Amino acid sequence: MPEFTSVDCAHMARALELAERGQFSAHPNPMVGCVIVNGDDIVGEGWHELAGAEHAEINALRAAGDRAASASVYVTLEPCAHHGKTPPCTEALIEAGVGRVIAAMQDPHDKVAGKGLKMLSDAGIVTELGLMGSAAEALNAGFISRMTRNRPFVRVKVAASIDGATAMANGESQWITGSAARADVQRLRARSGAIMTGIGTVLGDDPSLNVRGEDIDTRGLQPLRVVLDSRLRMPASARMLTLPGRTLLCCTAGQDDRELVEAGAEVSAFSADDERVDVAAVLEDLADREVNDVLVEAGPGLSGYLLANDLVDELVIYQAPHIMGSDTRRMFDTPSWTALAQRRDLEIRDVSQVGDDTRITATIRD
Amino acid sequence: MPEFTSVDCAHMARALELAERGQFSAHPNPMVGCVIVNGDDIVGEGWHELAGAEHAEINALRAAGDRAASASVYVTLEPCAHHGKTPPCTEALIEAGVGRVIAAMQDPHDKVAGKGLKMLSDAGIVTELGLMGSAAEALNAGFISRMTRNRPFVRVKVAASIDGATAMANGESQWITGSAARADVQRLRARSGAIMTGIGTVLGDDPSLNVRGEDIDTRGLQPLRVVLDSRLRMPASARMLTLPGRTLLCCTAGQDDRELVEAGAEVSAFSADDERVDVAAVLEDLADREVNDVLVEAGPGLSGYLLANDLVDELVIYQAPHIMGSDTRRMFDTPSWTALAQRRDLEIRDVSQVGDDTRITATIRD
CA B11 – CA B227 distance, rounded (Å): 42
Minimal Cα–Cα distance from B339 to chain A, Å?
A: 7
The complex's ipTM?
0.91
**Contact across the interface for A165 and B163, Cβ inside 8 Å:** no
Using the predicted structure, report yes or no on whether residue B282 has a pLDDT greater than 90: yes
Name the band, by pLDDT with cuts 50, 70 and 90, for residue A57. very high
User: What is the pLDDT averaged over residues B198-223?
Assistant: 93
CA B180 – CA A348 distance, rounded (Å): 17
Distance of CA A278 to the CA centre of its chain: 21
Name the band, by pLDDT with cuts 50, 70 and 90, for residue A49. very high
Best CA proximity match to A138, nearest among A268, A16, A43, A306: A16
> Which pLDDT does position B84 carry in this prediction?
78
Q: A85, exposed or middle or buried, with CB in 10 Å at 0-12, 13-18, 19+?
A: exposed
Using the predicted structure, report yes or no on whether residue A2 has a pLDDT greater than 80: no
Name the band, by pLDDT with cuts 50, 70 and 90, for residue B1. low
> Which pLDDT does position A147 carry in this prediction?
96
User: What is the pLDDT averaged over residues A130-142?
Assistant: 97
**Which residues sit opposite A226 in a β-bridge?**
A196, A248
Q: Quick one: DSSP state of residue A44? A: E
**Contact across the interface for A170 and B304, Cβ inside 8 Å:** no
SS3 A188: helix
Of A325, A327, A343, the CB nearest to B322: A343
Lowest mean pLDDT among A8-12, B3-7, B65-69, B116-120: B3-7
> Which pLDDT does position B41 carry in this prediction?
96
Give alpha helix (H) positions in chain A. Answer: 6-20, 56-64, 89-96, 115-122, 133-139, 141-149, 179-190, 199-205, 258-262, 279-288, 300-308
Minimal Cα–Cα distance from A354 to chain B, Å?
A: 14
Chain B residue with minimal CA distance to A305? B325
Of A169, A340, A358, the CB nearest to B168: A340
Is residue B304 within a helix (H) or strand (E), and if so which, with residue range? Answer: helix B300-308
> Which pLDDT does position B83 carry in this prediction?
81
> Which pLDDT does position B87 carry in this prediction?
84
CA A166 – CA A160 distance, rounded (Å): 4
> Which pLDDT does position A109 carry in this prediction?
85
SS3 B198: strand
> Which pLDDT does position B112 carry in this prediction?
83
Name the band, by pLDDT with cuts 50, 70 and 90, for residue A83. confident
> Which pLDDT does position A69 carry in this prediction?
97
Q: What percent of chain A stands above pLDDT 70?
A: 99
Minimal Cα–Cα distance from A172 to chain B, Å?
A: 7
User: What is the pLDDT averaged over residues A160-174?
Assistant: 95
Name the band, by pLDDT with cuts 50, 70 and 90, for residue A82. confident
pLDDT tens string B85-117: 778 999 999 999 999 999 999 999 887 899 999
**Contact across the interface for A332 and B323, Cβ inside 8 Å:** yes
**Contact across the interface for A162 and B344, Cβ inside 8 Å:** no
Cα radius of gyration (chain A): 23
User: What is the pLDDT averaged over residues B286-296?
Assistant: 98
Name the band, by pLDDT with cuts 50, 70 and 90, for residue A84. confident
Name the band, by pLDDT with cuts 50, 70 and 90, for residue A234. very high
Q: What is the mean pLDDT of chain B?
A: 96
User: What is the pLDDT averaged over residues B351-358?
Assistant: 96
Name the band, by pLDDT with cuts 50, 70 and 90, for residue A1. low
CB B21 within 8 A of CB B217: no
